[in-house]
Amino acid sequence: MENIPIVFWLVPIASVCALGMAWYFFKTMMKADEGTPRMIEIAEHVRKGAMAYLKQQYKVVLIVFIVLAVIFAIMAYGFNAQNPWVPFAFLTGGFFSGLAGFFGMKTATYASGRTAEAARHGLDKGLKIAFRSGSVMGLVVVGLGLLDIALWFLVLNAFYSGKMPTTEMLITITTTMLTFGMGASTQALFARVGGGIYTKAADVGADLVGKVEENIPEDDPRNPATIADNVGDNVGDVAGMGADLYESYCGSILSTAALGATAFASSTAEGMQLRAVIAPMIIAAVGVFLSLLGIFLVRTKDGASMKDLLHSLGLGTNTAAILIAIVTFPILYALGIENWVGVSFSVLSGLAAGVIIGQATEYYTSQSYKPTREISAASKTGAATVIIKGIGTGMISTCIPVLTISVAIMLSYLCANGFDMSMSAVSIQHGLYGIGIAAVGMLSTLGITLATDAYGPIADNAGGNAEMSELGEEVRNRTDALDALGNTTAATGKGFAIGSAALTALALLASYIEEIKIAMHRVGETMTNVAGDTIDAAQATIPDFMNYFQVNLMNPKVLVGAFIGAMAAFLFCGLTMGAVGRAAGKMVEEVRRQFHEIKGILEGKATPDYGRCVEISTQSAQHEMIIPSLLAIIIPILVGVILGVSGVLGLLAGGLAAGFTLAVFMANAGGAWDNAKKYVEEGNFGGKGSECHKATIVGDTVGDPFKDTSGPSLNILIKLMSMVSIVMAGLTVAFM
């Protein structure tokens, strides 16, 4: 223990502060007025539906986790093909990820009714409840993430301390901890896919019959699918997002720590390696405090206007982002990281990339700009041209994010290794560390950026509650305004999430190499280095490794791996799109049946059977999430066994390049269709109820699974495939 620098304790302290503040915000929110009995009843319906779903979901996921943990245990204890800590690390990763989703959803389902009630008294009051509740989610994610990381680091440090030299110990610890990322990724994928299918089956089903066929407004209590739709917002956008970002957050910190351990393994400076390992954790810990500062900056005056609120939200997130950029320099200087200026600039390039990607997302998906307005205009010639235009816009919108991330990769790599393109062993390692830490920088203020993202669904649900409780148009307009407000500020948060996913996936690619080396070392396999000598695999540098496994672009295994990686991204999206289509079809039939069989629903005289719709969504989601999720686990294992290390690296690189681009395309096309519809609803091209409106509703419906099911799941898919490869490195080595 004595070898751990005192500054490390910032990490558990930050974790406790985050969780404490989350608890405080939660308690404050719970004290707020719940509104009329009707409002309480509806909130209760949604809450019960959401909890029932989560329970069902966790049951299924638990089985998957038990099976996988047993396999890991057999690999570890039976065949020595795995570090003995892996089964436990895997389980805690999954547990904490699930917990983050659970707490987030619990808060959201309590908050939405209270937000609706607060919105009755003013826009600012609604914002306060919704945003603080969103902050609970943000703080729980970072708090649990840092807690898990700090605990494991201390446990493993205590266990290995004295048993091996420090250098080897740190590499062992960080690569072991990395595997708890697979637990988080697996949990996140199930949450995103299951939640995504649930929410969009309900949403699409509700819209298709309600809005298109029967011409009743969104969230109308006469629509039997409306409760399921509101439950869906919670299980998909809140619980799914929570698990997702928990995984991103921990993944970026852990992979950077692992890269730090190897990058500075040969450093002569005393304790340099350890400091490089804890640097990402410290940046994240400081980010927690800056996030808290930002959250408190979001203040609302009584009767604040929309513009004031926007300014206030922007102030919070931007202050946190700017401060972390500035503060990184003294942190890395104080830690004594070699080339601290360069590494700080790596962080800076990551942050800049996040901002640019966020702005580009905003440009391509907001109805304030030309691209989305042109999609609205395409509705003049019908639904088909809306779809064509939306797909075209989505595809074009991949250009800026990909170029930005490309520049960020080059810059964070070069800044961290002193602009050394020699591709020497050390320069590569330092460069990769730079790429990893850039991702950490982007996610360090997740506490507040996630708050701006997570409060959207809360506002959305508050709107649903207001509509179903018939609180009148003014309240509904306020909750809509809150939702719209969130969309604007969330753009930056989304940019950070997407950008960091790409950088983290790259860092994981490098971590995979380390895991293979360790797995070979464990079973005593040797390697031939570039000079032609036989060496212990653990001693191999990246050039040695690349040369030994022929991981170059003329190796057909690498190319075939890349083909399969690109295909995996498409196949995965295809399966999830198909799942939403099927589930939505069932929902439509049920809603039609109820309109047909339960007399008086449309006149508001009879109550629809909300429960049946909730059940259909739950069952469909549970049933449909299995195949795509398992595929993400099986593909990298099979490729590893059949094509070996070079095939896996091809798979991960191909999957990353194609998957990232596909994810941006789907997210932006979906977002643009959503807002193109809103633009028409604002009174353009004939406004609500016009033919143009109907055409844009088709676009919005198609966009639903794009932006809320397939697109966001892809970000996890990319990383989960890397994580599985990392955890299964032992198996790949056994088949070599």
Instruction: Quote the least distance from Cβ 378 to a copy of itself, whole Å.
Output: 6
Angle CA(380)–CA(671)–CA(397) in degrees, nearest 5?
90
CB of 409 to a copy of itself, least distance (A): 5
Minimum distance of a copy of itself from residue 142's CB (angstroms): 29
Q: Whole-number minimum distance, CB 414 to a copy of itself, in Å?
A: 8
Q: Which one, of 315, 729, 246, lies nearest residue 500 by Cα?
A: 246
Our CB check for a copy of itself shows the closer of 5 and 382 to be: 382
DSSP 17-57: HHHHHHHHHHHHHHHS---SHHHHHHHHHHHHHHHHHHHHH
Minimum CB distance to a copy of itself, residue 554 (Å): 5
Q: How far is the CB of 156 from a copy of itself (least distance, A)?
A: 27
| Residue 209 beta carbon to a copy of itself: minimum distance, rounded to whole angstroms | 8
The residue among 83 and 175 lying less far from a copy of itself, judged by its C-beta, is: 175
Residue 6 or 531 having the CB closest to a copy of itself: 531
| Among the listed residues 211, 197, 232, the one whose alpha carbon sits nearest the alpha carbon of residue 112 | 232
CB 668 to a copy of itself: min, Å: 10
Kindly tell me which of 230 and 398 has the beta carbon lying closer to a copy of itself. 398
Long-range contacts of 56-61, Cβ-Cβ distance < 8 Å, separation of 24 or more: 56/618, 56/622, 57/190, 57/191, 57/194, 57/195, 57/235, 57/621, 57/622, 58/98, 60/190, 60/194, 60/622, 60/625, 60/626, 61/94, 61/98, 61/186, 61/187, 61/190
Instruction: Tell me which amino acid residue 434 is.
Output: G
Rank residues 274 and 656 by Cβ distance to a copy of itself and give the closer one. Answer: 656
Nearer to a copy of itself, 22 or 425 (CB): 425
Nearest to 224 by CA among 39, 468, 456: 468
What are the φ/ψ torsions at residue 527 (nearest 5 degrees)? Answer: -140, 155
Ramachandran angles phi, psi of 534, nearest 5°: -85, 125
- Of 494, 44, 49, 82, nearest to 232 by C-alpha is 49
Question: Of 5 and 578, which CB lies nearer to a copy of itself in the complex structure?
Answer: 578
Asked if 269 and 284 count as a contact pair (C-beta separation under 8 A), the reply is no
Given the complex with a copy of itself, which of 480 and 590 has the nearer CB atom? 590
Pick the closer one to a copy of itself by CB: 169 or 672.
672
Contact 231, 49 (CB under 8 A): yes
Minimum Å distance from CB 734 to a copy of itself? 18
- Of 447 and 654, the one with the shorter C-beta distance to a copy of itself is 654
Q: How far is the CB of 493 from a copy of itself (least distance, A)?
A: 22
CB 254 within 8 A of CB 180: yes
Name 227's Cβ contacts closer than 8 Å, sequence gap at least 6.
42, 45, 46, 49, 610, 613, 614
| 255 vs 508: CA distance, rounded Å | 6
Mutual orientation of helices 610-681 and 556-597 as an angle, nearest 10°? 110
Q: How far is the CB of 333 from a copy of itself (least distance, A)?
A: 26
Tokens describing residue 655: 């999957």
Q: Which is nearer to a copy of itself, 183 or 232 (CB)?
A: 232
- In whole angstroms, the minimum distance from the beta carbon of 401 to a copy of itself comes to 8
Is residue 627 a contact partner of residue 601, using CB atoms and an 8 Å limit?
no
Task: Return the number of the residue (179 or 576) whose C-beta is nearest a copy of itself.
Answer: 576
Residue pair 115/458 in contact (Cβ under 8 Å)? The answer is: yes
Determine the Cα–Cα distance for residues 674 and 701; give it in Å rounded to an integer: 8
